[in-house]
Amino acid sequence: MSKFPAVKTQLQTQMVQAMKAGDKLRTQTVRMVLSEVKALESDHPEGDPQTAITGYAKKLRKAMQDFEKLNANDRVEAIKAELTIVEEFLPKPMDDAALEALVSKVITDLAAGPKDAGKVMGAVLKQAAGTADAAKVRAMVAAKLPQ
């Protein structure tokens, strides 16, 4: 069963509340997230709406890095505020200890060697289900795999 209707309903409710409260930034941000979710639904009806939200957060982080390089501090602050709102709709990130335990477990389960980093990363990210940062996973896998 598709998860899109529940997520869209939640986002629409949040948007209406933000509009009633007169919170323009929140209204605009939730509207953008809702747009991303609807676009993913039309392209991939069996996909996961969290993918769209995660993708939008990733775009914002990239834009924030680009504006930091340009010393456009006003834009950086605006994007940080928008990112804070978007992160409310993302699952809580896995803490480092739990992620490290998962990486160790996957390495053991797969009996992974030095050349299996890709397999381990894929398995960890799949099991973490969007709650782990790929860069952190990559660093942990590289540190834990035997050389």
Domain count, the chain: 2
Regarding whether 12 and 81 lie in a shared domain, the answer is: yes
CA distance 96 to 44: 32
Which stretch, 6-20, 46-60, 118-132, has highest mean pLDDT? 6-20
The last residue of a domain, from among 46, 64, 87? 87
What tens digit of pLDDT does each residue of 43-62 get?
Answer: 988 888 888 898 899 999 99
3-state helix, strand, coil in the chain (%, to 5): 80, 0, 20
**CA dihedral for 140, 141, 146, 147, sign (positive or negative):** negative
72/139 same-domain check: no
Structural domain boundaries enclosing 71: 4-87
- Residues 76 and 135 reside in one and the same domain: no
CATH code of the domain covering residue 121 = 1.10.10
Residues 78 and 108 in one domain: no
63 with 128, same domain?
Answer: no
Is residue 9 domain-shared with residue 75, that is, in the same domain? yes
In 3D space, the residue among 145, 37, 133, 42 whose CA is nearest the CA of residue 86 turns out to be: 37
pLDDT tens digits for range 73-82: 999 999 999 9
Predicted confidence band of residue 91 (pLDDT cuts 50, 70, 90)? confident
Mean pLDDT of the chain: 89
Q: How far apart are CA 37 and CA 46, in angstroms?
A: 12
Question: Is residue 36 located within the same domain as residue 58?
Answer: yes
The pTM for the full model equals 0.74
Asked whether residue 101 falls in the same domain as residue 71, the answer is no
Residue 64 is predicted with a pLDDT of: 94
23 and 81 fall within a common domain: yes
Same domain, 25 and 80: yes
Rounded distance between C-alpha atoms, residue 7 and residue 104, angstroms = 33
pLDDT at 147 > cutoff 70:
no
CATH value at residue 41: 1.10.1510.10
Looking at 43, 65, 87, the residue that finishes a domain is 87
Contact 47, 40 (CB under 8 A): yes
